[in-house]
Amino acid sequence: MELANRLPDRDPNGSFFIMGIGSRVQAHPACDCWMMGDRFGTITKITHKSIHVKMDRSGKTRRFPSDLLEIA
């Protein structure tokens, strides 16, 4: 993975892990897509403002801020 395409994040225990292109993620339960059943996806692109995720159920690519995603 290229360094520019990775974002540091923390797990509940406080240790760091990396979200990068190809990582499996889950949307936050407060998101409308999560409530409609479109919960999991794969990161396809990372920009300085958002993370693009191709969702499993709908096949749509959605944009999320990094704080609304967690590693699945």
Q: Identify whether the C-beta of residue 9 lies closer than 8 Å to the C-beta of residue 15.
A: no
pLDDT in tens, 17-53: 677 899 999 999 999 999 999 999 999 999 988 999 9
Number of Cβ atoms within 10 Å of the Cβ of 18: 13
67: confidence class by pLDDT, cuts 50, 70, 90: confident
Phi, psi at residue 42, to the nearest 5°? -125, 135
Widest Cα–Cα separation across the chain = 33
Domain assignment of residue 58, given as a range = 3-71
The domain total for the chain is: 1
Q: Which residues are 42's β-sheet partners?
A: 24, 54
